[in-house]
A and B are shown apart, each in its own frame.
Chain A
């Protein structure tokens, strides 16, 4: 690689003024919402101890609202904190949430599944330029090199249907769709090659369940895969149970997954889980013309029956 090419990769995608203007807009709105008593908590991000990092934060006072930030380190999908899985946060009363476009899709999905009510929520949408990938060097600015794979193909930079939009979407270059390319590469494989690809990845799974725990749609109070009387899926981190777990996860999210790719980001073993999610989404689109989007839909194709459903698989 030549020096020029290296430089192109590391050129900041947006100038630093963008981040501070989004941050200021979030702070102002959060402060207003908390001072007026309109909400009792604002779910957003604050800066972490390590440079370039940010973490989910629940601000309950105007002072805490001043600590909220938006930076390329704001990787989390905060919709997680509105699910049944995080009952403690909902107890705080009416809340506001900072949401990127991909997070909004998750909120819409949760509303469709009757987990959330729009009127009980204040949404501070972010005009998002993208966030860091899991392995990005956070001492560098957001660039083609450091941006998350999902953000390279983002179609929801500008949030829709929100109560307020923080910042405005800057001009962004077209980035090559790495994940789509990877999916195409997998699809071009023979089943045996593809099986080898996944077998290798699943062999490293430690069953820490981070993929499940960060997923806004994994809100079942009793996960089938945790059952032991009788056991549904082997819980031991071994090839059979690991494979079964990831297949169950992928299937259960088919038509529901909002594509935030949190499962993949959270995986400490670098398993490219979003490829499975995307493959399922693609199948659902081809079979049922269904896509998880911004508008809440009451039922997904796998939760309803229609006379004209494809039945060619019944032999």
Chain B
């Protein structure tokens, strides 16, 4: 690795003219405002003699994501460098999982997941190079679009759910399935993050975030709502939580071996969200009393639609 003589904005990775290094003329990012933590790749590093490294924007226990520029393909990319801690058995195991995850993702080529260009072993352990996707998140889109109706929410998020389902089938989990983690690509929404799962279950927190994402799309801005209940409060009104039914529905959809249930899940969620926010009344079966009364009176009821219970 060596330092790159060319000038790039370390945030948007656009080439910038000499003398504008401090403040990017395209995105306005101030280079002096960025101070990478110890152990991270320094800005302007040329990684693997190919990737011009920019600012790190996400780091967790497994990998760090950097904005980067692919000098060969001449495109902006996201560089994920594995940082699995001290060398040893655990490091080796999680490095293998990291590589397996990105290899699977590259092979699967899912519509609602950012394209994985490559993943390789390297001196640092391993890295993956993914498609650069805009900074526009679902959260931003929600604030722009406002509340979506069912069809709108479905067309926006159904591919994401299907992708999650496919990932889950491959024992891959998404770290944080929330409106802030889903990004806009052309006119669709894509997931950008994944990791291997030891089990085949979404963690409770993931389920909660997943639900919140849908409720946010259908009920307005994705303002983070303090979670006051174990089940989570998903309402922007901060006083209602989704019924247990919704949680059960999600859990059942992703833990069962049934056919794609995404459509059903979303429809169900939408409905549960409506009920949770008090917009819709829980549907009820036609009251048996009326039906049986009609039978006793010898009247054939051809149809009954009612709010009576």
- Say if A and B assemble together: no
